[in-house]
Amino acid sequence: MNPKKTIRGAIALLVAGFCLFSAERLLAQSKDAGSRVYELRTYTTLPGRLPALNKRFADHTIRLFARHGIKSEIYWIPTDDARKDNTLIYVLSHDSQEAADKNWKEFQADPEWVQAREASESDGKILVKPPERIFMKMTDYSPGR
């Protein structure tokens, strides 16, 4: 048995499997995009509290979102001087508006979330005001479709 042929064969199989997996995943995402509801959220923090919010998301929130069917799509920190130190903007998605309502209700009641939120605010409140929320549907001409 030729070791070079065996290695090449294994690599070819691995690449083929990865391509098939990627194609199936893209097809599922494109079908899914038509029915999903996207949620744009903007958080404004008190001065100096953005690091605490970022830590809470990194250590707890994103994982807990996934547990409750809330899909994290993308997170941003603005670069302009007025918002770079106090704003977090992100997009989530849900199977439907009804699912979004259910997901949020379950998330907010999760004892682990309540504990994480309280711990992150033990040295002071984080947000200036409640998050701004906009629910959206993807257009037919969106490049992400």
pTM here is 0.75
Query: pLDDT for 87-141, tens place per residue?
Result: 999 999 999 999 999 999 999 999 999 999 999 999 999 999 999 999 999 998 9
Is residue 20 pLDDT above 90, yes or no?
no
Q: What is the CATH number of the domain that holds 96?
A: 3.30.70.100
Asked if residue 86 lies in contact with residue 45, where contact means CB atoms within 8 angstroms, the answer is yes
- Give pLDDT, residue 15: 54
**One domain for residues 128 and 60:** yes
| Residue tagged 């007025």 (tokens) | 82
The domain tally of the chain equals 2
**Regarding predicted confidence, which is higher, 17 or 85?**
85
13 versus 140: the higher-pLDDT residue is 140
Q: What is residue 144's three-state secondary structure?
A: coil
What pLDDT sits at residue 5?
Answer: 54
Q: Is residue 142 part of a domain?
A: no
Domain encompassing residue 113: 34-136
Structural domain contains residue 71: yes
- Residue 47's CB is within 10 A of a number of other CB atoms, namely 8
Q: Which residues of 5-38 are buried (b: 16+ CB within 10 A; e: fewer)?
A: eeeeeeeeeeeeeeeeeeeeeeeeeeeeeeebbb
Q: Are residues 29 and 66 in the same domain?
A: no
Tell me, yes or no, whether 27 and 42 share the same domain. Answer: no
pLDDT for residue 28 is more than 50: no
Amino acid at 35: S
74 and 126 inside one domain: yes
Residues 16 and 48 grouped into a single domain: no
Q: How far is CA 88 from CA 43, 123, 144, in A?
A: 5, 20, 23
Tokens 């259910």: give the residue.
Answer: 102
